[in-house]
């Protein structure tokens, strides 16, 4: 079970839409994590 945590956490934070934040994924709310603005 522990072997699947990293994949689940990645999906949860990067791909899964969250209704509490208007359908965005948590990663969409954080500025420059992916290096887009550097």
* Mean pLDDT of the 3-30 span: 89
Write down the pLDDT at residue 37. Answer: 60
14 pLDDT above the threshold of 80: yes
Integer Cα distance of 19 and 8 in angstroms: 18
Integer Cα distance of 24 and 4 in angstroms: 23
Integer Cα distance of 7 and 5 in angstroms: 6
pLDDT tens digits for range 17-35? 999 989 998 888 877 666 6
- What is the pTM assigned to this prediction? 0.59
Write down the pLDDT at residue 29. Answer: 80
Write down the pLDDT at residue 26. Answer: 86
What tokens were used for 31? 């500025």
């Amino acid at each position: 079970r522990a072997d699947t945590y990293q994949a689940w956490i990645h999906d949860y934070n990067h791909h899964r839409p969250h209704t509490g934040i208007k359908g965005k994924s948590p990663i969409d709310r954080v500025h420059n994590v992916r290096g887009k603005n550097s």
